[in-house]
Amino acid sequence: MTRDRLPPAAGDPLRQAGRRLAVAFEAFHETHYRKWLAYAHLHTGSEEAALEVTGAAYRRLRLCWPYALKQSSVDSYAWAVLKETVVDWLGANGRGTALTQSAAFAVVTRALLRECQQQFALLESQLGLYEAISRLPERQCDVIVLRHVVGYSDAQIAALLGVDEATVRSHASRGKRRLAAALGIATCPTKGK
């Protein structure tokens, strides 16, 4: 008895599904790579280490990409993979975050200076600001770093952290107030961000 076979319809469905997954992953990679690299650089303190960490995070994410796509927020799941990879690298290398020493924090200073020109002009040293930022609660620190250093919008930060935009703005506002208190300056007026 011979089985009748249907001709393949427009190619192999498994191959097509694999190609769609690969295209989606590459699009995600292209969208986030530079910002992930900047974030990793902030914590590792070197471009070489940042490249290593970012590459490792993307390799981890690629292995579980079909699972990531099933999550309620792909961005949030992927962000957790990056953060875990950074923490793993720091632990494996016996290091703490290089956030305080990172030259990229000059971007934060410039952004906050623009927003609160007179108050932050009183600072004798940028080091106090860097230290204060690194001592913020994790979510407030993440929001300040992601917004002012890495350059994500509030909507993108909300997706990464798995919260709504109002929560991002709340973390930013609380973080700024804590920074102002830690640095002994008046709270900055809020102008959108």
Q: What pLDDT does residue 158 have?
A: 94
| Spatial distance between the Cα atoms of 108 and 150, rounded to a whole number of angstroms | 9
Residue 165: burial class (beta carbons within 10 Å; 0-12, 13-18, 19+): middle
Q: What pLDDT does residue 98 have?
A: 72
Lookup: tokens for 53: 């960490």
Q: What pLDDT does residue 124 have?
A: 44
| Spatial distance between the Cα atoms of 57 and 36, rounded to a whole number of angstroms | 9
Is residue 4 predicted with pLDDT exceeding 60?
Answer: no
Q: What pLDDT does residue 104 have?
A: 46
Q: What pLDDT does residue 185 have?
A: 74
CB neighbour list of residue 154: distance below 8 Å, 6 or more residues apart: 147, 165, 168, 169, 172, 193
Give the end-to-end CA distance of the chain in Å, rounded to a whole number.
73
The stretch 14-29 carries a mean pLDDT of: 86
The stretch 97-113 carries a mean pLDDT of: 61
Q: What pLDDT does residue 66 have?
A: 93
- By mean pLDDT, which of 19-28, 90-99, 109-118, 151-160 is the weakest? 109-118
How far, in whole angstroms, is CA 79 from its chain's centroid? 6
In the predicted model, what is the mean pLDDT of the chain? 81
Q: pLDDT by residue (tens digit) across 161-175?
A: 999 999 999 999 999
The stretch 19-47 carries a mean pLDDT of: 91
Question: Which of the four pLDDT bands, split at 50, 70 and 90, describes residue 107?
Answer: low
The stretch 44-72 carries a mean pLDDT of: 94
Is residue 131 predicted with pLDDT exceeding 90?
Answer: no
| Spatial distance between the Cα atoms of 90 and 95, rounded to a whole number of angstroms | 5
- Three-state SS string over 123-191 comes to CCCHHHHHHHHHCCCHHHHHHHHHHHHHCCCHHHHHHHHCCCHHHHHHHHHHHHHHHHHHHCCCCCCCC
Is residue 32 predicted with pLDDT exceeding 90?
Answer: yes
